[in-house]
Amino acid sequence: MTNSTAERSSYLMRAGLVRNVRSGEHLTTFVVSGVATVLVTRLLLSLSGYPQIGGKGLHIAHVLPGGLLMLIAISLLLGYVGPVVRPAAATVGGIGFGLFIDEVGKFVTSDNNYFYKPTAAIVYVVFVLIVLGFRFLTTRRPIDPREELANVIDHAVEGVAGGLSRRRRAEASELLRAVPQQVQGRRETRELLAACPADEVELAAPVDAAWQALQRWFERLATHPKAPRVAVAVLALQVVGALVIAIVVGDGLNHLPVLGVTAGSLLSATFTVRGALALRKGNRARAVRLFELAVLVSLLMTQVFQFAATQFAAAFGMLLDLVMLGLLRAERDRMRREVESATKARTLRLPPDPDLPPFPEDPSDPV
């Protein structure tokens, strides 16, 4: 961390802007809930013949329950402390935002046209901008150890009032292990966690359970022996499929969105080929980075034009890109953990063994 970055980080924390280490998970929950809501809403309305709720000149648009759900999410965040409520607020808020943004066609056309053709592309771009903007704000500087400690204390907030379950205590302890010993307040925080009474009563956490299960599934798939070849095949099919669908559903190669899909597909194909060559040379880390770039180009460029050309028919390609991105991120994280484990083993002059328990940072430190 450079001096300027450290100074900016210190200023923001002094101003009370401490980042949540799980903000990425909450953002993903929000976006997935929102996108799923848009797709499900469009599907249900199509199957039911686009009914109108109301009568006698009234029409209750689904933007209204969307606003109500966003209000509920804000109320949850404002009314309760601690990390327990955030996954639920992200889910409820995402559903509400999905219902809201689904009607964007009515707000940008003079005739309130829900079927405005660019709506799909507008919705997609909005979600992309949300993700990019959020990541810019939260990841442009490394997490400060003091922020990590603040997140541990955030876990202790609920424990002070209602006790901590074994799962919650383990989460807090895992965060505390990442905080260096010299950070002021670490010892007191450890003592605070130890003082929290045990209590196995906790709210159901289906969102957390779902993400943990999905992460385990991604890790299993990423380590499968055939995973590299399947990844290359899927990326290649994605490139060809996106181009074919855009040409068939669009108005031919002279249509601007189709030209955009073509350019994005060619760029993704370039990264895919380079990744395949790196894989043949045994450079798995470089191959994963190149494959990830291919998927990101597809998500941030190709799919934008694909939604403009084919509207919501592009949803399958987007979902496939997201699955591929999840697999590649899981593999990248696994390789990073291997490198960290090997580095730690060399530091302690011990052979790296993934089956060994994590090394304690201090024999006298139970956490």
Q: What CATH number does the domain located at 208-340 have?
A: 1.20.140
Q: Once rounded to an integer, what is the mean pLDDT over residues 18-23?
A: 86
Please give the Cα distance from 97 to 57 (Å, whole number): 26
User: How far is 287 from 281, CA to CA, in rounded Å?
Assistant: 9
Q: What is the pLDDT of residues 235-261, one digit of tens each?
A: 888 888 877 777 776 555 557 778 888
Supply the Cα-derived Rg of the chain in whole angstroms: 24
Distance CA(133)–CA(127), nearest Å, equals 10
* Pairs from 300-304 (Cβ < 8 Å, separation ≥ 24): 300/128, 300/132, 301/260, 301/263, 301/264, 301/267, 302/242, 302/260, 302/261, 302/264, 302/265, 302/268, 303/124, 303/242, 303/264, 304/121, 304/124, 304/125, 304/128, 304/260
pLDDT tens string 214-234: 888 888 888 888 888 888 888
* Res 355: pLDDT: 45
pLDDT digits (tens, 9 = 90+) for 74-126: 999 999 888 888 989 999 999 999 999 999 999 999 888 988 888 888 999 99
Is the pLDDT score of 41 beyond 70? Answer: yes
pLDDT at 101 (0 to 100): 94
**Partners of 19 in the beta sheet?**
none
pTM over 0.75: yes
Q: What is the pLDDT of residues 282-297, one digit of tens each?
A: 888 899 899 999 999 9
* pLDDT recorded at residue 11: 72
What digits encode the pLDDT tens for the residues 63-73?
Answer: 999 999 999 99
CA distance 250 to 240: 15
Domain boundaries, the chain: 17-116, 145-203, 208-340
The length of the chain in residues reads 367
Distant-in-sequence, close-in-space partners of 310: CB < 8 Å, separation ≥ 6: 120, 245, 246, 249, 250
